Amino acid sequence: MYKIVRKEVLNSQVKLLEIEAPYVARKAEPGQFIILRVDEDGERIPFTIADYDREKGTVTIIFQEVGATTIRLGKMTEGDNLADFVGPLGVASHFEDVKKAAVIGGGLGVAIAYPQAKKLHSMGVSVDFIAGFRNKEILFLEKEMTAVSDRLFITTDDGSYGTKGFVSDVLKKLLDEGNEYDVVIAIGPPIMMKVVSEVTRPYGIKTIVSLNPIMIDGTGMCGGCRVTVGGETKFACVDGPDFDGHQVDFNELIRRLSMYKRDEKAAIERHQCRLEGKTNA
């Protein structure tokens, strides 16, 4: 069993859990992920590692309550135990010969971009962190992002905090001002990563995106997480989750991610019915 040792509510839908998992913490690196089950009858769901502490033997995940399982997970509290917590899985991010980087997170993707920025900052890399949110109310990790970046730029869709607009707008402005980056890391909704990749393409800047398609076993056997990169089929769980943003077929990725929306909605409705003691009869 894997004990929850800390819980934080980051906004109305986003929660942080720090979980006791010493063997995972010992090997974890930025870019990798875990797969957990809430209980013995639960589904397997992947979460990118948001942070880890080797001395404490803990791994931190940050998630949004969007499906039946994440809603259940969000109701758990400190002292509760998870049935399974497997990892680290996937290929760790690698940063060679990087002196200046732009790290971009959109929405929940900020939680995944944060460990990337933290790692780069610890290596002495100059980091510009661009974080985008719909509005000020859902902003999270501002203090943490500030600590691991040389410059932090926050955007909101409605202009309620930081710069009004999108992360791609800020990136384009920085590039037009003459900022030169060895790498741009973009993590968030597929459409955001696609737009950022198109912004950097004319500049020839290496652009890394982190993909989180449908995933079941995390070992490359189910094939659910297949993506097309450079015209070839790749599996996000074993070949990624980091990929060259200029090579990813984002249109295909977006179509695949929308395939199960109806099933996800039905699962949430069944879960709510059980909580309220209702039946479908």
Query: To the nearest 5 percent, what fractions of the chain are helix, strand and coil?
Result: 30, 30, 35
Tell me the three state secondary structure of residue 101.
strand
Query: Residue 213: its pLDDT value, please?
Result: 72
User: What is the pLDDT, as a whole number, of residue 281?
Assistant: 44
Per-residue pLDDT of the chain (281 residues; tens, 9 = 90+): 899 999 999 988 899 999 999 999 999 999 899 999 998 888 888 899 999 999 999 999 999 988 888 999 999 999 999 999 998 998 888 888 899 999 999 999 999 999 999 999 999 999 999 999 999 999 999 999 999 999 999 999 999 999 999 999 999 999 999 999 999 999 999 999 999 999 999 999 999 999 887 777 666 677 777 888 999 999 888 888 899 999 999 888 888 777 665 555 554 445 455 555 555 44
Residues 6+ apart with CB under 8 A from 280: 270, 273
What pLDDT is stored for residue 207 in this prediction? Answer: 96
Phi/psi for 156 (5° steps) reads -135, 145
In the block, residue with structure tokens 């013995």: 40
Structure tokens at 134: 């719909």
Q: State the amino acid at position 170 in one-letter form.
A: V
Domain boundaries for CATH 2.40.30.10 within the chain: 2-89
- Where exactly does CATH 3.40.50.80 map onto the chain? 100-210
Tell me, what's the pLDDT at 69? 86
Query: In CATH terms, is domain 2-89 a member of 2.40.30.10?
Result: yes
Top CATH class of 100-210 equals alpha beta
Tell me the pTM.
Answer: 0.85
Asked whether 45 and 70 are in contact (CB, 8 A), the reply is: yes
Alpha carbons 238 and 253: distance in angstroms, whole number: 17
pLDDT at 94: 85
- E strands, 38-99, are 45-48, 51-53, 58-64, 81-82, 84-89
Contact 171, 184 (CB under 8 A): yes
Cα–Cα dist 162/218, whole Å: 37
Dihedral over Cα of 164, 167, 170, 176: its sign? negative
Give the 3-state secondary structure of residue 53.
Answer: strand
